[in-house]
Structure 1
Amino acid sequence: MIRRTTAFATRHRWMTIIVWAIVGLALTAVGQPLMNSVTDSSTGDFLPKKYDSAAAIQIAEKKFDEKPDPNAVTVLVARADGAKLGPQDGKKIADTAAGLSAKRIKAEPEQFAKDFSQTPRYTVGVVAPDGTFQLLTLSLSGNATDTGLQDVYRDARDLAKTDYQAAGFRVGFTGGIASTVDNLDEEKDTEALVGALTMGLIILLNVVVFRSILAAILPLLAVALIGGVATGAVAGSAKLLDIKVDPSVPSLITVVLLGIVVDYFLFLMFRFREELRTHPNMDKREAAANTAGRVGNAITCAALTIVAAFATLGIASFGQFKVLGPAIAVSVLVALLGSLTLLPALLAVTGRAMFWPARAWKKERPAGFAARLGENISARPVRYLVGSLVLLAALGAGAVGVKMSYDQHGQPTTNATRTADEISRSLPAGVSDPHTVYVQTKAGGKLDERSLTGLTGALGKVEGVGQVAKPVLNPDKSAARIDVFLAAKADTQKARDLITGPVRGTIAQNTPQGTEAHITGTAAIFADVATAVNKDLKLVFPVAAILIALILFLLLRSLLAPLVLMLAVGLGFVATLGAGTMVFQHMLDRPGVSFTLPLVLFLFVVALGTDYNILMSDRLREEMDKPIPARKAVAEAVRHTAPAIATAGLVLAGSFASLAASPATAEIGFATAVGILLSSMLLSIVLVPSIAAILGRGLWWPRRGNKGHGRGTSAPTAYNHPDADRTLVTEPQMAGGYGPAPYTGQQPYPGQPYQAQQPYPGQPYGQPYGQQHHPDRPHG
């Protein structure tokens, strides 16, 4: 199936490229606007209804016909001269707010984008105890992550500043979409720099490795086309199934596709270069077909492991995971299709021009770094295995005592944060982000304020609660809402501990008889998210591990090899988490690492890092199928595969490392880059080959290899490659244009008798094999 797909793509190469270009450009145009329409920025909406904060949101929607608004902005209004507010000032503030609530903000949406034109809603709030300012609430409808709504907010903000300035006041905005927009504006230059550095790194590495222009540019063009199709596929599926996705999905799709598409293109290009070097007269289309046919199985298996890891999130209870996993899985399937069709077609079209203007690639350097590394690992595998395990253990020790933190670190100082600080100096810190207790009757009874005095009074006495507002009843008096303002900022661990402990305890003890009460708000929602995430990770990790192991078993047709790879990946995960914990929790003295870090490392380090192990294992099996000693096969596998893995790992690690330029993403950028480097440079190139050199062909147990070249036996006289009968044969070959080439000393050509004088790693070419080294005895 895979060979037929790649053969079709290379045979109809121009048609394949044109179809991808048309579909990719079309879906790029409609994909992002469509994605915005299916995005939900309210974290509470993703919680199962059994959680306390989610139950409170249900009461708000059912009894008050309102939904906690993640876009709600707190507006501070103060006199421009710094004096305290007087009686006339309050009237001016209210009148100006009413005037602003009557002015419609018009948006100018781009093609296919949603029109967010609307009239802002201003609500007059409390006055500071010292009389220096009054608070308002500004509400806008829409997705805060959509650039269209962000532009509408900017217009509303500027209009409010103008009108209040004319009335003699100054204003400040914080919370909701105000904080989102200010953070984006503050980080805009940094993000542009990070994007430029990432693209520059990919281009630079490809230029250095391949000395080619096309090899540097084509992967990025492929990513753009495949990314457009993937975004359209995810957004279209969500629209069709009426599913809401988290705002982080589009950016994660971009990062994932950038990593795996570039990686797979590099895997193909290294093998394509090897194919052209070995058969200098081969037609470029046939070389591309042979390359894709050989590497296609490994790429397919690697992609399916990522799909399995992400798709497993579909069984999570937390909605963001449940939606994120399948969305990324769909994107990876699109990337796999592109890797088996678009990328081989590009190779078939460019051929040797892919490596222009370089010429040195036509002759392989037998004594390069990868070759020497392969020789050393095959000669002293125990030493390299022990060294790798010591390094992984040292890093993994940092994970002892790891704690999860839900605090926001590294956020830039903006007008929104300065406004919030000014408010907190006079009012409880939670005023700009209040929590709300919703109470409803169970059997159709009625509520009154007197029945709620016990609850409000008890909440007001809780240490850490700054203020409790009077209850507000719904029209039929079957429910009430009570605003609670914490003394701590809502996005801190202190606030979450306060909510999960004394506040919810007080609510449970003082809820009026015949009613139920629940609390929602930022701290309440994230406290419930923490509980849901902890449960989900205990379920997702083992299920995903089983699925990945099953896929490895189907590819490698072995029980022992998948176990070795899974153990290696597990060690890499623990070492990466330990490195992140040492730096951010211990060295920087933070309360813990971000609660999303274990999941991010699992998705990117385990799933993407497994790609490198699969590529190495596939080449190890291919080399061990040849009639050569097992350790020589290990040396050859490292020599041919290490450059591709190292380059791909540097590209992907560099992409994540660039995230460290932003303080808000420094933790994820650092830890993920370390994990990718460990997966590529240590696990795949050193640890797995050293284990293979120790176990020999026993690595593939219970699969039986060629018995004639096991330990203690001499090499057979014929080379019987598993793909020999499937090698493409064209008319020029049959006519003798470039039939079976003479043996070059690099590797046996399919169907050609094995030459006993093939050099052992480190042995000069032409020296009879076995005079210097015994096949089963370490050399050097």
Structure 2
Amino acid sequence: MGPRVKWLVVVVAVLVSAAAFAFAGEPKAVSTTAASLPDSAEAAQVSALRAQLPSSGVTPAIVVYKSASGTVDTSAVEASRDRGIAAVKEWAPTASATASGAPTGAGGDSAAGASAIPPQVSQDKTTALVIIPLEADLPDEANSEAVDALRTAVREGLPEGLTATVTGGPAFGADIGAVFDGADIKLLGATAGVVAILLLITYRSPWLWLVPLTVVGTGDQVASKALSALSRVSEVRADGAVTGITSVLVFGAGTNYALLIIARYREELRRTEDRHEAMRAALGSAAPAVLASGGTVILALLSLGFAKDPFAQSLGYAGAMGIAIALAYALLVLPAAMVLFGRRLFWPFVPRVGTDDPSHAGVWRRLGDAVTRRPVVVGLASVVTLAILALGGLNLSVGQSPNEQFLDKPEAVVGQEQLASAFPAGTSQPTIVIAKASATDAVTTAAKGVEGVQQVRASGGDDDLVELSVVLDASPGTTQAFDQVRALRTAVHDVPDAQALVGGPDAEALDSRTTADRDRLLLFPLILGIVVVVLLLLLRSVVAALVLVATVVATYVASMGASWFAFQNLLDYPPLAVTTPLLAFLFLVALGVDYNIFLTTRAREEAAGGSHARESIVTALAVTGGVITSAGILLAAVFAVLGVLPLVQLAQIGVIVGFGVLLDTLLVRSVLVPAVVSLLGEKFWWPSHPADR
């Protein structure tokens, strides 16, 4: 913070940032259609075995033809199919080279042999389907281009009244990819705009907001480049969801840290003439709380490394790295940049030495006095409010079908719905059974005996293994489909010497749900343990640590309840995605405890100066209330920006975390915590005694 060192810090930050932009490169390409399952899951084992079979390397795209009136024209369908096959040949070399006629997927053949398979026509003759295999596990961009080429080709020359819609795994992957086309620009623009407006309102200065926005925005882009590099040297996936959520975390947390540091700097400028000394004092007071806050979030994110879900693992490592970069820019670059411009940066409200801090007699001081005068009544009212909000989650449902994951209905969903209305619901996404070839007949008989199984047919294999395609009558991703997969597994597992395994989309969704349940049981207590340990080290108080953890857990439960009520009654959203409860818990607990850390560390400072617990918490609320409330509103708004992407899971996470942050900021931290501290008195700091220090 010296007169010369500040320039050195800024110059080094510029050079490091420029190097990250120049040399980080592009992220490793990933396939959106790849299942997010641990290798131990049964469905993942099926995928691994299928990759060893001669028919591997292809995945079915399904073209659904719908006649507006009368019977579907099969000759037009066949001509359209042939055009589609020709269009995807460059994307499906494996399929094109396999002309064996062995069926692939749901009743289809290899791309070369598909023309020999007639279209399947529904009983009412108004709908037909054709299977056109594409190369499996194409990177997102190549898969999207292949599906676009197929969609264009099959629609050319169709007679009036006949429509062609492409669905199936590759089509869903392409439509998910379309959600993230330009997502980084959309998120960055929306996030930067929200942050700029809120900073301008907070500081009421025409240029002060530019400094934290520039610093945090640069840190966000450096984190994005670092994630690209990390994806190439590790198993961390830099897909749209991971990069989007990481960007929101960096922007939200980085801006929160900046607000706290600037608030303490402005406070010190009223006491100290030299701006360098003022920033040193501000960092000396704010840095421990910022480090504790950031450290809590980093450790909580790293705990996702113990998850079985690969998406959660990737998000954990990416988010932890992003928060570390946000911390570095907030604690190193921001102070130097602020000191460069001096007091005039705060114009027109320039802090002068000797002027009173208006926060000491402001609205937050009056609120603190009102709360601590009647702590029992206020505390009970706060608890009742949280309990009422939590009641909204009594019928909480987890698990989305593929059709439910989009806010706007894309073509893949339209095709799926058309298919389900004319054929058995599981036709588009058949369940796959892999077994010993010697037990083919026994496994087929066992599978046909399961209630809900409409069709069982061989769809590939070799001398050792057979692949069976099983069509269920349940809609994909539903509870009924999961029940039928469980029953199918039980039936084929009981076949002697078959070593049968059940996979496919519904089995993958079921295993994803099982994995998510396991991850929650492990990570909920682990995350809480991390937060308790950090609070114990920071506050040196068992009572304070347990009280604060209890309040953030209550915030999470209340936010989940209120959000679920809104999803069902106001927004008409489907059930939560299987990873949403865990991610919402992580963000709300790790980020929510930040505000309590900022409040109680300041209260401990006041207590160390001799103030009683009640007076210390009122003073802390008076001084930090404005900046923490601004930080909470800003963080909630940043998470709400996830709603600019038309994916239900991101929108739900944005609503849950955004509402929870507001609830924590405006009710729990401002009302409930001061009431509890006032009730407990000096016992709140037990077993330590801050005044003795």
Q: Using structure 1 for the length normalisation, give the TM-score.
A: 0.77
Q: Which residue of 2 aligns with 1:368?
A: 362
Question: What CA distance in whole angstroms lies between the structure 1 residues aligned with 2:58 and 2:582?
Answer: 27
The unaligned stretches of length 5 or more in structure 1 are 1-6, 106-119, 441-446, 708-721, 723-780
Contact 2:548–2:596 (Cα < 8 Å) also in 1: yes
The offset of 1:25, in angstroms, is: 4.1
Question: Which SS does the other structure have where 1:317 is aligned?
Answer: coil
Q: Which residue of 1 aligns with 2:498?
A: 515
Determine which of 250, 263, 266 is the counterpart of 2:256.
Answer: 263
Question: What CA distance in whole angstroms lies between the structure 1 residues aligned with 2:329 and 2:573?
Answer: 42
Q: Which residue of 1 aligns with 2:581?
A: 598
The offset of 1:53, in angstroms, is: 0.8
Question: Which SS does the other structure have where 2:56 is aligned?
Answer: coil
Question: What CA distance in whole angstroms lies between the structure 2 residues aligned with 1:399 and 1:79?
Answer: 43
Q: Which residue of 2 aligns with 1:432?
A: 428
CA, structure 1 residues 465+21, in 2 after alignment: closer, same or farther (shift >3 Å)?
Answer: farther
Q: Which residue of 1 aligns with 2:103?
A: none
The offset of 1:19, in angstroms, is: 2.8
CA, structure 1 residues 167+93, in 2 after alignment: closer, same or farther (shift >3 Å)?
Answer: farther
Q: Which residue of 2 aligns with 1:276?
A: 269
Farther-moved stretch of structure 1 (178-187 vs 610-619): 178-187
CA offsets per residue over residues 303-339 of structure 1, 9 Å max, x none? 1111121111212233333333222222212222222
Question: What CA distance in whole angstroms lies between the structure 1 residues aligned with 2:18 and 2:48?
Answer: 41
The offset of 1:487, in angstroms, is: 2.5
Q: Which residue of 1 aligns with 2:45?
A: 55
Determine which of 320, 327, 334 is the counterpart of 1:329.
Answer: 320
Question: Which SS does the other structure have where 1:489 is aligned?
Answer: coil
The unaligned stretches of length 5 or more in structure 2 are 93-109
Question: Which SS does the other structure have where 1:438 is aligned?
Answer: strand
Q: How does 1:144-163 map to 2 (within 5 A)?
A: 146=140, 148-149=141-142, 152-153=145-146, 156-157=149-150, 160-161=153-154
CA offsets per residue over residues 219-253 of structure 1, 9 Å max, x none? 33223221222233334334324555665211111
Q: Which residue of 2 aligns with 1:486?
A: 472
Q: Which residue of 1 aligns with 2:552?
A: 569
Q: Does 1:174 align with 2:174?
A: no
Question: What CA distance in whole angstroms lies between the structure 2 residues aligned with 1:93 and 1:378?
Answer: 75
CA, structure 1 residues 68+97, in 2 after alignment: closer, same or farther (shift >3 Å)?
Answer: closer
Q: Does 1:237 align with 2:230?
A: yes
Q: Does 1:13 align with 2:11?
A: no
Q: How does 1:22-101 map to 2 (within 5 A)?
A: 22-28=15-21, 31=24, 34-37=26-29, 39-42=30-33, 44=35, 46-49=37-40, 51-64=41-54, 66=56, 69=59, 72-76=60-64, 84-86=72-74, 92-93=79-80, 95-101=82-88
CA, structure 1 residues 585+377, in 2 after alignment: closer, same or farther (shift >3 Å)?
Answer: same
**Structure of higher CA gyration radius:** 1
Q: Does 1:249 align with 2:242?
A: yes
Question: Which SS does the other structure have where 1:135 is aligned?
Answer: strand
Question: What CA distance in whole angstroms lies between the structure 2 residues aligned with 1:291 and 1:589?
Answer: 47
Q: How does 1:645-660 map to 2 (within 5 A)?
A: 645-660=628-643
Question: What CA distance in whole angstroms lies between the structure 1 residues aligned with 2:577 and 2:148?
Answer: 34
Q: Does 1:128 align with 2:120?
A: yes
Contact 2:37–2:508 (Cα < 8 Å) also in 1: no
Question: What CA distance in whole angstroms lies between the structure 2 residues aligned with 1:154 and 1:62?
Answer: 25
Determine which of 113, 132, 140 is the counterpart of 1:137.
Answer: 132
Q: Which residue of 2 aligns with 1:379?
A: 373
Question: What CA distance in whole angstroms lies between the structure 2 residues aligned with 1:539 and 1:529?
Answer: 15
CA offsets per residue over residues 175-206 of structure 1, 9 Å max, x none? 33433444665797999887655443322222
CA offsets per residue over residues 374-412 of structure 1, 9 Å max, x none? 222333333332222221222223344534233325542
Determine which of 509, 512, 534 is the counterpart of 1:551.
Answer: 534
CA, structure 1 residues 92+359, in 2 after alignment: closer, same or farther (shift >3 Å)?
Answer: same
Q: Does 1:316 align with 2:302?
A: no
CA, structure 1 residues 411+183, in 2 after alignment: closer, same or farther (shift >3 Å)?
Answer: farther
Q: How does 1:736-747 map to 2 (within 5 A)?
A: none
- Residue identity in the other structure for 2:17: G
- Residue identity in the other structure for 1:133: A
Q: Which residue of 2 aligns with 1:530?
A: 513
The offset of 1:564, in angstroms, is: 1.6
CA offsets per residue over residues 715-764 of structure 1, 9 Å max, x none? xxxxxxx8xxxxxxxxxxxxxxxxxxxxxxxxxxxxxxxxxxxxxxxxxx
Farther-moved stretch of structure 1 (594-603 vs 356-365): 356-365
Question: Which SS does the other structure have where 1:62 is aligned?
Answer: coil
Contact 1:499–1:524 (Cα < 8 Å) also in 2: yes
Determine which of 445, 455, 458 is the counterpart of 1:467.
Answer: 455
Contact 1:435–1:522 (Cα < 8 Å) also in 2: yes
Q: Which residue of 2 aligns with 1:717?
A: none
Farther-moved stretch of structure 1 (668-677 vs 219-228): 219-228
Contact 2:555–2:664 (Cα < 8 Å) also in 1: yes
Question: Which SS does the other structure have where 1:463 is aligned?
Answer: coil
CA, structure 1 residues 18+74, in 2 after alignment: closer, same or farther (shift >3 Å)?
Answer: farther
The offset of 1:470, in angstroms, is: 3.1
Contact 1:584–1:593 (Cα < 8 Å) also in 2: no
Question: What CA distance in whole angstroms lies between the structure 1 residues aligned with 2:73 and 2:448?
Answer: 27
The offset of 1:532, in angstroms, is: 1.5
- Residue identity in the other structure for 1:694: L
The offset of 1:423, in angstroms, is: 2.5
CA offsets per residue over residues 136-191 of structure 1, 9 Å max, x none? 324246565x4x43662365246524766599986321133433444665797999
- Residue identity in the other structure for 2:48: Q
Q: Using structure 2 for the length normalisation, give the TM-score.
A: 0.86
Percent identical among aligned pairs is: 27
The offset of 1:463, in angstroms, is: 3.4
Question: What CA distance in whole angstroms lies between the structure 1 residues aligned with 2:163 and 2:19?
Answer: 46
Q: Which residue of 2 aligns with 1:700?
A: 685
The offset of 1:589, in angstroms, is: 8.1
- Equivalenced residue count is 664
Q: Which residue of 2 aligns with 1:761?
A: none
- Residue identity in the other structure for 2:142: L
CA, structure 1 residues 68+231, in 2 after alignment: closer, same or farther (shift >3 Å)?
Answer: farther
Q: Which residue of 1 aligns with 2:485?
A: 499
Pairwise CA RMSD of aligned residues? 3.4
Question: Which SS does the other structure have where 1:481 is aligned?
Answer: strand
- Residue identity in the other structure for 1:302: S
CA offsets per residue over residues 599-658 of structure 1, 9 Å max, x none? 122121111111101000110001111133433222211111011110000011122234
CA offsets per residue over residues 533-560 of structure 1, 9 Å max, x none? 1112111111221122111111112222
Q: Which residue of 2 aligns with 1:113?
A: none
CA, structure 1 residues 609+348, in 2 after alignment: closer, same or farther (shift >3 Å)?
Answer: same
- Residue identity in the other structure for 1:467: Q
- Residue identity in the other structure for 1:492: T
Q: Which residue of 2 aligns with 1:740?
A: none
Question: What CA distance in whole angstroms lies between the structure 1 residues aligned with 2:203 and 2:685?
Answer: 34
